Structure 1
Amino acid sequence: TAADLGRFAAFLMAGDERVLAPATVAEMRVPAAPAAEDDPDGGYGLGLQLLRRDGRTLIGHTGSLPGFVACLWIGVEDGLAGIALANATSGPSPSAVAADLVRIVAEAEPRFPEPWRPLPAAAVDRDLLELTGPWYWGTYAYGLRIVADGGVVLEPLRGPGRRARFRALPEGGWVGLNGYYAGETLRVVRRPDGRVSHLNLGSFVFTREPYEPGDAVPGGVDPEGWRGL
C-alpha cells in the first residue's frame, strides 16, 4: 500500500538500528556501477535504483506486473518521497509521476534546515580535532570538518570542486560515501616522529600549505617553494 511504501521510504532515508544502521543504508545509496550509455541519468546502488532529475538525486525503485505499475522515489536531501501506484500496464510513467511529486513539494515547501548544534565536548576526539581546518591539493584550498557521527567532510573552501562525506572505519581512516571520492579511503600519513605529514585520498595528497616543502608532494617541490605568477 501507499502507507507501506511511505514507511519504507522513511527507513531508506534514515535507517533503523533494528534492521540496518543509518551508515549501512547510506552505503546502499552510493552508485555501485556506472550509468548505462542509453540511460545516463539512471543507475544502481545496492538494491536501489538511482535517478538524476531536476538537479537532485533520487533513490528508490520501480515495480510492475501485467496490470500493475508502481514507483517510489526518495529525495534524501529534501526529506521527501513520491509514491505512484496504478492499476495499468501502460500509460503515464509512474516513475515520472513520483519524481514530479518530489520536485513540486520541494519547490513549493522547501525543507527547513536542521538548527546547528555544537557537538558535545566529550564526543570530539582531540586527535581528530587537530585534523580539521584548511588543507591544500596543490594550491586548491579545502576544508576538513567533523560531522556528528564521527565522520568528516572534505570540501572546497570557495568555488566549485569535489565535496565528499566520509564514514570512519574501525581500523582507522575514513571511506567516501558520495561524490567523486565515493568508495575511496582517506587516511592520515604521519612522519617518523608521529606528527601529521599529509592526507592521502586515493593517491590525492593534501598538505597544510600549498606545495609544502618537506612533505610528500607528487612531483616534488621547487627548492624556492611555491610562488604565484
Structure 2
Amino acid sequence: MSVLLPSTERALLHRLAVAQADGRAPSVVAGVVRDGSLAWSAGRGAGGADVDAAYRIGSITKTFTAVLILQLRDEGALALTDPLERHVPGVAGTATLLQLLTHAGGLTSERPGAWWERVEGGDAAGLLSALAGEAPRLEAGARLHYSNVGFALLGEVVARRRGAPWAQVLQERLLDPLGLRRTGPTPVGAAVEGWAVHPHADVLLAEPSAATGAMAPAGELWSTVGDLARWGSFLAGDTGDVLHPDTLEEMQQPATVDDGSAWTTGWGLGLQLVRVDGRRLVGHGGSMPGFLAGLLVEPSSGDGAVALAAVTSGLPIGQLTQELLLSLADHEPALPRVWAPAPVPADLLELTGTWYWGTAALTLSVEGVDRLRLTPAGGGGRRSRFRPAPGGGWTGQDHYYAGERLQVVRAADGRVTHLDLATFVLTRQPYAPAEVIPGGVDERGWHRPG
C-alpha cells in the first residue's frame, strides 16, 4: 500500500469535508488509488461515516456488465456488431450490441411504467413485455442517447449466452476472480441507509432500496470504497486473467462524445470518458434513490479515485471524484514506470527510424518487444500504435489508423522495400524507389523547374 504525505492526506480530507458540508450529505466516503492499491480513504458525516460500509453504486454497475459482454466477444460467443434481436428477440429497432454499449442504440432511456429505481422490478419477460411496441426514441447509431434499458438488455444477453442469471455470471466471472467480496446485488456486511435531504431544511427522508429485477445490470450493485479501489485498478490496466489488456484499451476509446472534436465527456464500451486539465480519465458515475457514486481512473498513471455518498442529490459526486484524483496528482505526482531495456528482434529493429509518406516524414519506433508506434516527425499529422496481427503484420490500435493493417513488403532477396499502411506506401526516401510508388514517380526525379 502506498503511503501518502500528511499534506496530501490533509488536502484530500479537506476536499471531502467541503463536499460533504456543501452537499449536505448525511455521509460521504472516499478513497484514492496509487500503485494498484487503496492509498488513502476517509469518511465524513454527522456521527461519522464508516469507510468500510457498503453503498449503492448505481450506474457504475454498467462497467461490470460491459466487461461481461467483452469477455463473451473475446471467446467468440458473440460479435459486437450482432443485432440485439439475434440474442434477445422482441425489442423494436435495429440496435447492435456495440451501439448499446456506447449509448447509441436509440432505445428509450428508462423502462416504461413505474419509476424503476424505486419499485421492485420484475424478470426479463416482464421487461420485454414492457418494451413491446415501444418504438426507438432515435435511429440506431444516430447520436448519443444514454439508455439504462440498453444495459438491462445487455445483461440479458449475458444471461442467455452463459445459461445462468446475470448476477451468478457476475459473481463467477468477475467478483470472485478479483476478490470483490463486498460487491453484489445486495449489501454484503455493514451497509448505510440511503437518504433524501429536504431542499429547504436540514431534515431527512429515508429512500427505498428496492431490488430492480431485470434492470439490475444497469444499476443494482452495492459496493465499498475498498472494492471499488480494486475495480478502479482493473479499469486502469490491472486486469489479471479476467480480461485481455488490449480489450480494456478498446473499451477506453471514445465512440460517442458530447461535443465533437472538443469533447470533454464521452463513452467508450461501457465506460465514461472524461478529459480534464489535459488528463484523460475513464470510469463511471452512479445514482440511485438515496445514493450517489463516482469512480475515475487515469490509465496513463494508474491513479484513481472513488467517492460514495448517502444522498439522493445535491452533491456533485463527479466533480468530487475528479478533484480527489487531481489533488493527488498535484500534491504527489505519480512516478513514471522504471525504464528498462527489452529484447527486440533484429527484423523488427531494422524497421525503426524515419519513413516517408510522400514528403511527410514519420518516425517508426518499437514499444516493448513487439509493438510499433508511428508518429509524425514534425509533431502534426497522422499517428497510431500497432500490435502484431494474426497472420503477420500489425493492426492499428488508435487514432487515424485504428483497425488498419501495416504490412512490411520485402524484395525477393529479403530486403525491405517499403511499408504498406492501408494502401499508403511508406519509403525510406521521399517518393523512392519509383517501382513501389502507386502512379509512378516523375522520371526526371527531384529537380528545379525552369
For residue 149 of structure 1, report the CA deviation from its aligned partner. Answer: 4.7
1:134 pairs with 2:357: no
CA gap of 1:17–1:196, structure 2 versus 1, over 3 A, is: same
Q: Which runs of 5+ in 2 are unaligned?
A: 1-223
Give 1:80's aligned residue. 303
CA distance in 1, matches of 2:298, 2:225: 17
For residue 6 of structure 1, report the CA deviation from its aligned partner. Answer: 0.8
Paired residue secondary structure (1:26): helix
CA distance in 1, matches of 2:315, 2:416: 57
1:53 pairs with 2:276: yes
Give 2:257's aligned residue. 35
Structure of greater relative contact order (alpha carbons < 8 Å, 6+ residues apart)? 2
From 87, 96, 99, the equivalent of 2:322 is 99
Paired residue secondary structure (1:5): helix
Give 1:20's aligned residue. 243
For residue 89 of structure 1, report the CA deviation from its aligned partner. Answer: 2.1
For residue 59 of structure 1, report the CA deviation from its aligned partner. Answer: 0.9
Q: Per-residue CA shift, 1:89-130, capped at 9, x if unaligned?
A: 22232222212222222233222222321113xxx2222222
CA distance in 1, matches of 2:337, 2:447: 42
Paired residue secondary structure (1:212): coil
Give 2:338's aligned residue. 115
Q: Per-residue CA shift, 1:176-219, capped at 9, x if unaligned?
A: 22333333322223345543232233333321111213254355
Q: Per-residue CA shift, 1:132-183, capped at 9, x if unaligned?
A: 1111122222211112251111112343343322221222122222333333
CA gap of 1:66–1:219, structure 2 versus 1, over 3 A, is: farther
Tell me how large the CA RMSD over aligned residues is: 2.5
CA distance in 1, matches of 2:295, 2:437: 47
Give 2:149's aligned residue. none
- Whether contact under 8 Å (1:164, 1:176) holds in the other structure is yes
Give 2:420's aligned residue. 200
CA gap of 1:53–1:226, structure 2 versus 1, over 3 A, is: farther
CA gap of 1:193–1:16, structure 2 versus 1, over 3 A, is: same
Q: Could you state the TM-score of these two structures normalised by the residue count of structure 2?
A: 0.46
1:183 pairs with 2:406: no
- Whether contact under 8 Å (2:253, 2:268) holds in the other structure is yes
Q: Which has the larger radius of gyration?
A: 2
Q: Could you state the TM-score of these two structures normalised by the residue count of structure 1?
A: 0.85
CA distance in 2, matches of 1:183, 1:119: 26
CA gap of 1:74–1:22, structure 2 versus 1, over 3 A, is: same
Matched length: 225
